[in-house]
Amino acid sequence: MNALETRQLTLSYGEKNIIESLDLTIPRGKITVFIGSNGCGKSTLLRSLARLLKPKEGAILLDGSSIAKCSTKEVAKRLSILPQGPTAPEGLTVFQLVKQGRYPYQNWLQQWSEEDEKMVNKALEATQLSELAHRPVDSLSGGQRQRAWIAMTLAQGTETILLDEPTTYLDMSHQIEILDLLDELNQTEQRTIIMVLHDLNLACRYAHHIIAVHDQTVYAEGPPEEVMTEELVRTVFDMDCQITLDPLYDTPMCIPYSKNRLANIPRKKAEVI
Amino acid sequence: MRNYHALRTKKDLLSLHLHNKTLWVSVIFAFLTVIVAVISLGMGEMNIHPIDVVKVFLGMGSEQHALIVQQFRLPRIVIAILVGASLAAAGSIMQGIVRNPLAAPDILGISGGASVAAVAFLLWFETSSITWLPPIAFLGATLATLLLYVVAWKKGVTPFRLVLIGVGIKIAASAIVTVLIMFSPFMLQNKAVLWLTGSIYGVDWSDVIMILPWSAGLILLAGLLGRRVNIQHLGDDIAVSVGSRLQIDRFLLLIICAALTGTAVSVGGEISFVALLAPHIAKQIIGPSFGGVLVVSTFIGSIIMLVADLIGRVAFAPVDVPVGVFTSAVGAPFFIYLLYKNRNR
Amino acid sequence: MRALLPNSFSKISGIFIILLFMAYLAYASLIFGVIDTSWQNAVEAYTNYNGTNEHIIIKEVRVPRVLNAIAVGFSLGIAGTLLQSLTRNPVADSELFGLNAGAALFVVIAITFFGISSLTLFTWIAFAGSAIAGIIVYILGSFGREGLSPVKLTLAGAAITAFAASMRHGMLVINEKALDEVLFWLSGSVGGRNVDYLISVLPYMLLAWIAAFLLARPIQTLLMGEDVAKGLGQRTMLVKIITGVVIVLLSGSAVAVAGPIGFVGLITPHLARYLVGNDTRWIMLYSGLLGSILLLAADLGARFIAMPAEVPIGVMTALIGIPFFIYVARKGLSKG
């Protein structure tokens, strides 16, 4: 069964449609990555999957039933999203932040059950933040901060986690750190991870399933090896490139051409063009 | 390291999570509030030693002292505490919702709405019972809040629009108050001006009885809703993601904020900056978690009001300078400091 | 957005229509009021003065009033355009930024502590007060990496206003006598002051008007962003400082003539932009003329709403201006 599906989904900002009548299925227990050029609507699509944005038409199905019809707390127990560039109030500690992930399980009387405590500690361990639990979030490094936010979504204990560009503003080593963490969560706990990434090569390395968004709809989807073609990059990103294999992992790798440097390509390689 | 203390009944029917530091900080500030109150009770036209003040409460003081302390000074002190606490609670809520450390009910026009209602009431129903003032001020504050909310609504309410439109409403409110004062007789003009500055001159036990249930009840309610404020701290997307009914909660909290503001305005007029100051100081001490901020800031708000009122009573005696003058004198520079501190947000 | 008047011909024609309308309002303002008079009377007051009540009213009250409204409105309209450009903020206004509250506080201080009671002195003290408040708000609003932001400016303005208002009220409580003297002044009016005030500040106004139009081009460049303007070789700091000085001159002399009047400078630049598009020179001219019209109309309204009492014109403009402000805050800020 699929984790998330859309039926005839149309999304818009004002009059302008961003996504039009889209039918999409996202596999359970896999890492799915949305790619596409700036402003193609991939973030919008992700936000709508997490009910942060109401669709203009159509429906989004979570485990087969429409999320618009479920109570928001019920959805929150099954699906969490980490938006782009979240900010924590000044002085909030990691522990206080992660604790908030338990919101859907609490009520007026029950504000800190044993289950809550267990889940929060587990989330802190999974993200290796137990040591830093009582440090303010704003005193952490970019990578640690992002881990803290991921810990919050983990504490929410959902099977599906959506992340909007979780690696933006991070340097290369922190990007890998975050993606490794997500990869591990997927492998050890079979969580469904759905995210937007800008870096095509990292997307190919970590994703099981890639969805390329272009021109108000899905241009192509499937495993990276099948989806990532020179043709796709030309259409979706309006860029010429060569697809080779990642020397380490044999996943597809996209090497773009530069306009004025064609002459500098050694002859042997130039023949390929 | 044990920073927290969990309270649970069997099977987790009731469970609470308490921050140890918040607990002892609250106790200290509660104690400080009492000390300041006792000192203030002793000062005035006739100075009474704090120990004699304590004696009065233990039933061992002289009759004269008892009369001055209990009949003349105590009501005013209790009002200062209640008004300070209500304003601080209103400010804590507002800062939580608006996610801007500079937002406060007096800056966003909610106090202004209360003032318009109150001044209009004083102008047109001068003879009727003054006990109607709190509900009227509360009504004005609520209407201003509703207006703020409706006008700022555009597929939901964002902190950004709340701030700008709130300031607009505040200015409109003061324009209306100006007109009302122009049309009122001279005696009332003075009263209205006093009102606009914020003063707790001449309150008595009936005022205390009038606002006590409101203040206490609303602060308690705010405490119960603490979780919902905390989640709003993290931004709209996160709040929706973890299953909060964001717009409903935000609306509910704004109404409680308005009610607390109206309660304070009904006896004290527009006392500025307490609602801004108190939650900030609380946050500096115990961090931004709402439950703790609410408790600690109510004590701090009370202390600010007690001190400002004491200075107003004593420093320029026999003239009773409105308490709002001193809260502004301290609050405005602090606000400027906050603007500077948050310059990169 | 396309301008309503796209070419020079239509823009010039527009000016004539506005002037006609202004003339009509001026005429109405001369004739109607607590005592209605006639055009004939108004002409005779100058050609064949006979000292009747009506002639006195026309010469001493109505004509100064019309002239004040036109000059003050023109200044406020231009000042608003400059202020919105300088702060890159569509909701910039002298009332919002605490300039008026600063002026009022200074006047009350002058009365309470220095026993000053001359109206002429008030005006210059008010001038200083609004300049100081303006500088403080501008500095506060431009703290930080991203520089001036509408929210920061508005909050700084609100704080300064609240502070000044509390201090002012506190002093008025202590000094009840000052209350009466100052209350009328505080609310702003183009009436009740004879034409001498206008004449005494007119040179400054004229200077500022000319300077404003000379600034139009550099400001147009500055509007593309400070870094861009610097890149084009503009000395942006100098342009900003001069603009600031011109704003203070304009709003200060307006305060000197008519007391604190808010929101004219908020509304008219938007209307002007709607009419003529993005050319700063045209915006300024239109904004100024529309300012005169707005003030003439507000003054007429102020006379009739609570006849025979007069609603302060500052209150009138605030009540017209707030809904407009809210409209702009809702609509216009999403762009930047």
Q: Which residue has the higher pLDDT, B14 or B107?
A: B107
Q: Average of pLDDT values for B317-339? A: 81
Is B288's CB within 8 Å of A90's CB? Answer: yes
Best B116, B179, B340 member to test C by mutation, with max C CBs in 10 Å, is: B179
Angstrom distance (rounded) from CA B272 to CA B279: 14
Residue-averaged pLDDT of chain B:
84
Task: State residue C182's pLDDT score.
Answer: 67
| Of B134, B291, B119, nearest in space to B206 by CA | B134
Q: Of B215, B226, B224, nearest to B301 (Cα)?
A: B215
> Which residues of A fall within a CB distance of 8 Å from B11?
none
Beta-carbon separation of A112 and B17 below 8 A: yes
Residue-wise pLDDT for C241-295, tens only, equals 888 888 888 887 887 788 778 889 889 998 998 898 888 889 999 999 999 999 9
CB contact under 8 Å between B171 and C262, yes or no, is: yes
Query: Using a CB-CB distance cutoff of 8 angstroms, which residues of chain C are in contact with residue B157?
Result: none
How far off is chain B from A131, nearest CA to CA, in Å? Answer: 11
Query: Which pair of structure tokens corresponds to residue B251?
Result: 């609306």
Determine contact: A145 vs chain B, CB below 8 A. no
The one-letter code for the residue type at A125 is E
Q: Is the pLDDT of residue C120 over 60?
A: yes
Only one residue has tokens 């304009």, namely C250
CA distance C335 to chain B (A): 13
CA angle in degrees (0–180, nearest 5) for B298-B304-B310: 135
pLDDT digits (tens, 9 = 90+) for A165-182: 999 888 899 899 999 999
Q: Is pLDDT above 80 for C133?
A: yes
Closest residue in B to C164 (Cα–Cα): B328
Parallel, antiparallel, or unpaired: how do β-strands A57-62 and A2-13 relate?
antiparallel
- The closest CB to that of B227, out of A74, A90, A111, belongs to A111
For residue B165, with 0-12 CB atoms within 10 Å meaning exposed, 13-18 middle and 19 or more buried, which class applies? buried
Cα gap B142→B114, rounded to integer Å: 8
How far, in Å, CA of C311 to CA of B182, rounded?
A: 8
pLDDT score, position C335: 39
Residues of A in contact with B15 (CB under 8 A): 109-113, 116
Q: Decide if C140 and B336 are in contact by the 8 Å CB cutoff.
A: yes
Confirm or reject contact between A130 and chain B (CB < 8 A). Answer: no
Amino acid at position A22, single letter: L
> Which of B25-39, B87-101, C24-38, C233-247 is the most confident on average?
B25-39
Torsion-angle region of residue C85: left (phi > 0), alpha (psi -120 to 50) or beta?
alpha
Q: Are C215 and C235 in contact (CB under 8 A)?
A: no
Q: Which two tokens stand for residue A48?
A: 């709508």
Residue of A nearest to B234 (CA): A88
Residue C30 lies in a domain: no
| Partner residue opposite B237 with nearest CB, options A52, A96, A97 | A52
List residues of B whose CB lies inside 8 A of any A CB: 1, 3-4, 6-8, 12-17, 99, 101, 224, 227, 230-231, 233-235, 237-238, 240-245, 283, 287-289
pLDDT of residue A207: 95
- pLDDT > 70? residue C65: yes
Q: How confident is the model at residue B272 (pLDDT cuts 50, 70, 90)?
A: confident
Task: Please state the rounded mean pLDDT for residues B73-77.
Answer: 92
CB-closest option in A87, A92, A99 to B235: A87
Reported as half-sphere exposure (CB side, CA atoms, 13 A), residue C76 has a value of: 36
* pLDDT for res C186: 66
**Do chains A and B touch by CB distance (3+ pairs < 8 Å)?**
yes
* Four-way CATH pick for A2-227: 3.10.20.30, 1.20.200.10, 3.40.50.300, 3.40.720.10: 3.40.50.300
State the pLDDT confidence band at B1, using cuts at 50, 70 and 90. Answer: very low
A128 pLDDT more than 80:
yes
Residues 6+ apart with CB under 8 A from A234: A240, A241
Average pLDDT value for residue range A232-258: 90
Interface of B with C in 91-130 (CB under 8 A): 100, 102, 106-107
Window A:36-55, CB contacts with B under 8 Å: 47, 50-52
pLDDT computed for residue A220 by the predictor: 92
End-to-end CA distance of chain A: 43
Residue pLDDT, tens place only, A77-118: 999 999 888 888 878 889 989 988 888 888 877 778 888 888
A209-214 vs A192-196, strand pairing mode:
unpaired
As for how many domains chain C has, the answer is 1
The residue-averaged pLDDT of B45-56 equals 86
pLDDT tens across A31-87, in order?
999 999 988 888 889 989 988 888 888 999 988 888 888 888 888 899 999 988 888
Residues 6+ apart with CB under 8 A from A183: A31, A206
Across the interface, whether the CB atoms of B168 and C329 are under 8 A apart is answered yes
Mean pLDDT on C204-211: 92
Q: What percent of chain C has pLDDT over 70?
A: 89
Q: Where are the domains of chain A?
A: 2-227
CA distance C38 to chain B (A): 30
Q: What is the DSSP string of A22-64?
A: EEEEEETTSEEEEE-STTSSHHHHHHHHTTSS--SEEEEEETT
Boundaries of domain holding C193: 87-335
Q: Å from A264 to nearest chain B CA?
A: 45
CATH superfamily, domain at B21-341: ABC transporter involved in vitamin B12 uptake, BtuC (1.10.3470.10)
Cα C178 vs. chain centroid, distance in angstroms?
Answer: 25
Is C256 part of any domain?
Answer: yes
Report pLDDT for A188: 92
- The winner for highest mean pLDDT among B128-132, B322-326, C152-156, C266-270 is C266-270
Mark out the alpha helices in B99-127 (DSSP H runs).
Answer: 110-124
In this complex, how many residue pairs, one in chain B and one in chain C, have their CB atoms less than 8 Å apart?
150
Tell me: the pLDDT tens digits for A181-225? 999 999 998 999 999 998 999 999 999 999 999 988 899 999 999
Mean pLDDT of B111-119: 89
| B136/C112 Cα distance (integer angstroms) | 34
- Domain assignment of residue C230, yes or no: yes
CB contact under 8 A, C145 and B154: no
DSSP letter for A93, please.
B
Contact C278, C221 (CB under 8 A): no
Would you state the pLDDT for residue C334?
46
CA distance A110 to chain B (A): 5
Interface test with B, best of C91, C138, C166 (most B CBs within 10 A): C166
User: What percent of chain C clears pLDDT 90, i.e. is strictly above it?
Assistant: 17
Q: Note the pLDDT of residue A201.
A: 93
pLDDT tens digits for A223-232? 999 999 999 9
For B15, the closest of A71, A104, A113 (CB atoms) is: A113
Nearest residue in chain C measured CA to CA from B156: C330
- In DSSP terms, A213 is beta-bridged to A218
What is the Cα gyration radius of chain B?
20
- How many angstroms separate the Cα of C111 from the Cα of each of A236, C118, C121, C157, C309? 71, 9, 10, 24, 26
Measured CA to CA in angstroms, residue A218 lies from A202, A211, B86, C271 at distances of 20, 7, 54, 44
CATH code for the domain in which residue C99 is found: 1.10.3470.10
Residue pair B310/B40 in contact by the 8 Å Cβ criterion: yes
* C neighbour chains, 3+ CB pairs within 8 Å: B
B338 reaches C (C-beta below 8 A): no
Which residue of A73, A92, A112 is in closest CB contact with B15? Answer: A112
- The per-residue pLDDT for C34 is 74
A89 touches chain B (CB under 8 A): yes
pLDDT of residue C336: 34
- CB–CB of A89 and B233 under 8 A? yes
Are B203 and B78 in contact by the 8 Å Cβ rule? The answer is no
Residues of B numbered 271-330 whose beta carbons fall under 8 angstroms of chain C's beta carbons: which are they? 272-273, 316, 319, 321-322, 324-325, 327-329
Please report residues of B whose CB lies closer than 8 A to that of C318. Answer: 171-172, 175
Question: What ipTM was estimated for this complex?
Answer: 0.79
**Mean pLDDT value of segment C110-125:** 76
Alpha-carbon distance values, B39 to B69, B303, B315, C222 (Å): 11, 12, 15, 58
Is the pLDDT at B190 greater than 80? The verdict is no
Q: Report how far residue C75's alpha carbon sits from residue B20's, in angstroms, rounded to the nearest whole number.
A: 60
Q: How much is the pLDDT for C4?
A: 79
To test the contact with chain A by mutation, choose from B238, B244, B245, B280 the residue with the greatest count of A C-beta atoms within 10 A, namely: B238
**A181, HSE (Cβ side, Cα atoms, 13 Å):** 27
Shortest CB distance from C162 goes to which of B106, B316, B340? B106
User: b or e along A219-246 (b: 16 or more beta carbons within 10 Å of the residue's beta carbon)?
Assistant: bbbeebeebbeeebbeebbeeebebeee
